[in-house]
Amino acid sequence: MPTNRERIEEWSKAYWLLRFYQNFMFRLYFKTEIVGMEKLPPNTTFIFAPNHQNALIDALAILTLKHSWQPVFLARADIFKKPLLSKILTFLKIMPVYRIRDGFENLSLNDRIFQKTMDVIRNRNGLVILPEGNHAGFKYLRPLKKGIARIAFQAEDAANGELNIHIVPVGLEYSNYVRYRSKLLVRIGEPFPVKKYLELYRQNKAQAYNALIDELAERMKAEMINIDDTEHYDEYMLLLQLYPRKKILDSKLPKTQNQQFIISKELISWLDGLKASANPLFDELMSNTRKLKEKLALHGIRPHALPLRKISAFCLFWFIPLLIIFSPLALYGFINHFIPIVVPYLLSKKFQDVQFHSSVRHAVGLLLLPLVYLFQTIIIGIAASSFTAALLYLISLPVSALVLFCWRRYYFKVVGSVRLSMFKRRNTAGATEIDELYDRVMNLVLNR
């Protein structure tokens, strides 16, 4: 094991400074809302267990909880193969866990990794383990691995139950896994103590592992969007995109991510109940939702545009002139951010797994942005032979980035409004059919 990993549990000032920049950039990428921090008691040893849907981003989401914390993460060993990347990951307080697929001869290396996790736990840093083992971009909890139970019991048993280790279920809910400025909800569940199962562990390890994993799974499901009905997964997903937004608007509820989560969980529970009771309403609702989904896909219409009858071209009279006025500033922003925009995008496309795209874009952007700002500012300063010019140019960079983002956002709104307005004019019958299906689906849900 590399010597720098031997001190991974120690507090790092360099890491602490980097966290300011990382958290700032992360919250720029994802509009993050955190719920449940008050559930974490002081002077307690935590093992955080979040669901795993979005590669490295899931780990970075835990870093947003509290800046002073320096938790250590466990990740699959295959990403540590390159020496430079291994050093970077170790600096970021990430340790490898070896699996059979990494080579049977490497499994013995886990003994030292598990020993190091005990140092982390004893130091009260906090340990983060993604108990599903690998990521998948689906909104349901997959079977949990027993590694988290093994580590927790080994540490608590070695300390004779005095570490007071609590496992914290965490739910991560993304509105979109990749898109910039998507929403992320982080829900902290109620922590539960490991030592409640310690006597069982000393009598029968397998039973203790299963008991802890079963409780953790149920607690994680409560904090995340979990669709058990994979047969109707797409229909559930469309309803979750349509109903909570309408419910919040009609009932004038707070427009928070957590409010949408609460409504979504209630909807899933109701749908599951309908199916379990063999209520014919379930089949009718699924059939109409499926038809609506097919119509939307056929015409390339996104769910958030519904109902189509509310689409108006009136806003174009305001947006189009504003887009024209701010186009030079947006172009200035794009030219000056060409490298940190295009390079991360192109690199992410080399990964077939879409769940890696936001991780690559965020990580590469973190590295490139300050380097590009520094290099371009020096060039401007030398070219203009003026420190003042260089300083003004540097100040203009983040301002132009903000203008570019807003311009791009409203540009797509205008393009979408124009396209939908043209669709309604050219295919009145198709637009009417979509709205009728939407009303039918919403009425079935609202009148339950």
For 375-429, the pLDDT digits (tens) are 999 999 999 999 999 999 999 999 999 999 999 999 998 888 889 989 999 999 9
Percent of the chain with pLDDT over 90: 69
Question: According to the model, what pLDDT value does residue 108 have?
Answer: 66
Q: With 50 as the cut, is the pLDDT of residue 43 above it? A: yes
Query: Which stretch of 116-125, 402-411, 428-437 has the lowest confidence by average pLDDT?
Result: 116-125
Partnered with residue 192 across adjacent β-strands are 167
Q: Where are the domains of the chain?
A: 3-222, 316-435
Partnered with residue 76 across adjacent β-strands are 97
Question: According to the model, what pLDDT value does residue 116 have?
Answer: 81
pTM for this predicted structure: 0.92
Residue 183 token pair: 């929403």
Q: What is the C-alpha separation between 262 and 152, in angstroms, rounded?
A: 31
H/E stretch holding 5? none
Question: According to the model, what pLDDT value does residue 106 have?
Answer: 64
Question: According to the model, what pLDDT value does residue 100 have?
Answer: 62
The band of 68, judged by pLDDT with boundaries at 50, 70 and 90, is: confident
At the topology level, CATH places domain 3-222 in Glycerol-3-phosphate (1)-acyltransferase (3.40.1130)
Q: What is the C-alpha separation between 96 and 154, in angstroms, rounded?
A: 18
CB count in 10 Å sphere of residue 393: 20
Q: With 50 as the cut, is the pLDDT of residue 249 above it? A: yes
Backbone angles phi, psi at 239, to 5 degrees: -65, -35
Q: With 50 as the cut, is the pLDDT of residue 124 above it? A: yes
CA proximity to 240, closest of 271, 201, 207: 271
What mean pLDDT is predicted for residues 62-81?
Answer: 84
Question: According to the model, what pLDDT value does residue 117 have?
Answer: 82
CB count in 10 Å sphere of residue 258: 16
CB count in 10 Å sphere of residue 200: 17
CA proximity to 301, closest of 309, 225, 29: 309
Give residues with Cβ within 8 angstroms of 1, minimum separation 6: 109, 112, 113, 116
Residue 412 token pair: 């797509």
Q: With 90 as the cut, is the pLDDT of residue 141 above it? A: yes
Q: With 50 as the cut, is the pLDDT of residue 2 above it? A: no
Question: According to the model, what pLDDT value does residue 3 have?
Answer: 41
